[in-house]
Every structure is written in C-alpha cells, then in structure tokens.
Chain A
C-alpha cells in the first residue's frame, strides 16, 4: 500500500503533532519518535473513528505506517461474500 489513509494522516499530524513531511509508508513509529503513550493515543483515535477495536499487536513501535494503513483499510472495508 503506497498511500497512508486520511484517518491515519490526520491522527498523526493533528493529534500527535507529527510533521506531515515525515509521514511516508516506510516510516515506522520508532522513526517518528512516537512512544508508547502516543501509540496508545493513536489506537484510541483509530478505534473511535472506525468503530472497530484495534489491538496492541496491530500498532506497535516497529510497525510501519504502510502496514498500519493496510490494517485500517482491512477493518474499515465492508467484507464481501465470495458466494
């Protein structure tokens, strides 16, 4: 996934004060110098805005923004039945 979804971008810039130029799919939370407090806040913001639970495993210090974006896409995209 090349694009970081808007929700993640907005949460990182507005709520956590991450400069927008630092936000790239490859950047990890460690690269952005976000600590466990910031990750806990991010998880809560994502839960509030998507209405889906976000477990600690899905957002951790080594996660890249691309990975988290992909995860958020998964939980926010309506599930399609294959039948």
Chain B
C-alpha cells in the first residue's frame, strides 16, 4: 500500500491524482495534519483541481490519517502506528515547507525533523519498503554556475537559503537511512513546478502563480496611486530586478513531474548501496528575462530591466523585492542539471514540451491589469522564440 505525506500540496495532489487514475486497484493512506473529515474535503478540492479525471470512486480509495510530523511517533497510537507500518510498501514523503521568509526553527521542524520521523516509520515497515523522498533541485549551494549532479553532497557548504540548507540536511538523513538499512530509497529533486491549467481559488498554489499574484498586487498599488503607496507613477517607470540577464530558472510542468513520480513508485531500480538520486527537471532552463517578459501584461506601468548590482533601490524596487518573497535569490543562477539517472530509469518517458510564452503567461495567471500611466505597454525584455 502507498502511504504519502503532502497529498494536499501542489505536487502531492498531482501525484496522487495521477496514481489513483493509473493504479486502479491500489489503496492509499494520506498522512496529514487535518482531521479525517477536513482532510477528505481538502483532498477532494486539491485532486479535482488537477487535469486528472478524479471522481468519488477514486477519492474513496484514499484514507486520510491525522498525524503530527513533529512527534517521533507521528502522534499515532502505538497500535495504529504498528498497523500503518506493517501495511506500508511504498512511502512517498512530499510534505515540506518551502518558504524564504520564515524562521529557521519552523523550516527545520518540517523539513528536517519531519523527515527524521518519516524515516522512523520507514524503518518500522517491512524490509521491502520503497522510500521516495521529495527534495528539490535547488540544493546546489551558493555557487551560481555549473552542472548540478544527481548525488547527495557530503558536506553542506554555503547555502543560498535556509530552505535549501534544511532540504540538504534532510537528504543527508535519507542517505544515512539508505546506507544503514540497504532498503530501496529514491531521492527525487524536482525543480520549480508549474501548470498552465486554470486554477480554482481553493487549489494549492504553485510558485509561478504566487509570483503572478504578487505582480498583480504591485500593479494595483501603482494604479491606485494613493498616498499609502510609496510610488504612484503617472508615467511608465523603470524598475531594476536584481539579477543576471544570463540567469535561468528550471521550470517543469507538474503533470510531467507527477507522471515521472508515479513511474518511480514502482519502476525497476538498479541495486545500489545508497539512495538513487533523480532530477525531475526540464531539459532546458527558462531564461529569467523571458519570465519577466511574461509579467509585462500584469505590470504595464513598469518597465523591468535586470541589474547585476542593485545600488540605492527605489521604493518600487524594494516593494518588488518584498513581494517576490525570495524569488530574487534565484535570479543570479545559471545552473544546468544532470539527468543521467533520470534517463537510465525513466528512459521511456518523452521529454516535456518546451515552455512557450503563452504557457508562462498562463502559469503566471497573466491578464491585462488596469494602468494609470500614459502608455499601455512596456517593451519586452526578451523576444520569445
């Protein structure tokens, strides 16, 4: 039986929906912090927001179990814990906290301590259990260039963010578990996951959607032009985005990532002493200027440029940085991602389609915004192919 955490999250809901539709007879236990009645509602809302045709029959195969990841025994009664462990043959740990403006303690509790407690459950299960641990492609450290390998770095080194540091610490715990127990373990590293599907307000959000919402918020503030806003342009203004024009983000369609994870749940894996590390990334990075181009319709009053050094930021630039909630930390990166293990195990999966300009517009939730300035559009930074 598949047991998973994070089922109501963005990636988790797509994975679970794909799994339920394709593995027609399997039952699933969804571990989460909500009571079963609340969890069932949230699962329904999240799963039906995906592109998979989810109906009541599918939802009935999911059993929510309330847990507390902060508790070593997951706050379960000993009998329930034992029964859960004995039935678990696949354990997918997707729960995690992705935030850049939260306390180190909170990040540590979810991403490191939570993983430790899930590993404890994995150890209590039978020796044929397969553990699928969801990490992130952004565990490469503070370096801005180079190829990120599909391997766990032995030493942490400087990190770009506290989030990244906790995800790396969790990977080290998982690696120790795999080496100690010899059990099948896969560390999966997705990049930035997104969808161009229209989202219901109650559906779990993805990072590009959050970025688009921040741009809309900024545009509304500039359009309103009240004294409460630190800037009220009557002319188009230029704002610098701190970062390199050469930088790129790796953005992957969540539907592709979910399909890959469904395959990895059962796929034959080569025997190895440690964990298998697999990158779920797009073969081509998305240049950051192209992403900013897709924000242009939402920010018609603002002409965006990129600057390697941001001296004396304006109130608008400070507001942009605040609203981006940490995204600015990634606008200097020029990484490429190794996909050797991915190709070896998932050789039969076709590559995902290219991320076109219309895709990015849809993923950002872009639509024309009201404009108080004299011109209606800013020139694009980068012409999409």
Residue positions of A touching B, CB distance < 8 A = 14-17, 35-41, 43-44, 56
Contacts and interface: CB of A to CB of B under 8 A. Distances in A.
Given A17-B60, A35-B87, A40 B37 contact: no
Interface string B50-84: 00000000001001110000000000010110111
Contacts of A35: 27, 83, 87
A40 B63 contact: no
B37 A36 contact: no
B77 A44 contact: yes
Contacts of B86: 36
B36 interface: yes
Nearest to B60: A17
B37 A37 contact: no
A17 B38 CA distance: 11
B79 A40 contact: yes
Given A43-B79, A44-B79, A44-B80, A38 B63 contact: yes
A40 to B, nearest CB: 4
Contact of B36 (A14, A40, A44, A56): A14
Contacts of A40: 77, 79-80, 82-83
B42 interface: no
Contacts of B332: none
A35 B87 CA distance: 9
B292 interface: no
A37 B86 CA distance: 9
Contacts of B82: 40
A15 B36 CA distance: 5
A56 to B, nearest CB: 8
Interface string B28-49: 0100000111001000000000
Given A35-B87, A36-B87, A17 B63 contact: yes
Contacts of B35: 14-15
Nearest to B37: A14
Residue among B35, B36, B60, B86 with the highest chain A CB neighbour number at 10 A: B36
Contacts of A16: 36, 63
B38 to A, nearest CB: 10
Contacts of B84: 37
- 4 smallest CB-CB distances across A and B, nearest first, come from A37-B83, A40-B83, A40-B79, A44-B77
10 contacts: A14-B36, A16-B63, A36-B87, A37-B63, A37-B65, A37-B80, A39-B83, A40-B77, A43-B79, A44-B79
Contacts of B60: 17
A53 B86 CA distance: 23
A67 B23 CA distance: 35
Contact of A37 (B36, B40, B87): B87
A44 B83 CA distance: 12
B26 to A, nearest CB: 13
B40 A17 contact: yes
A41 B37 contact: no
Given A16-B36, A17-B36, A37 B29 contact: yes
Given A16-B36, A17-B36, A41 B80 contact: yes
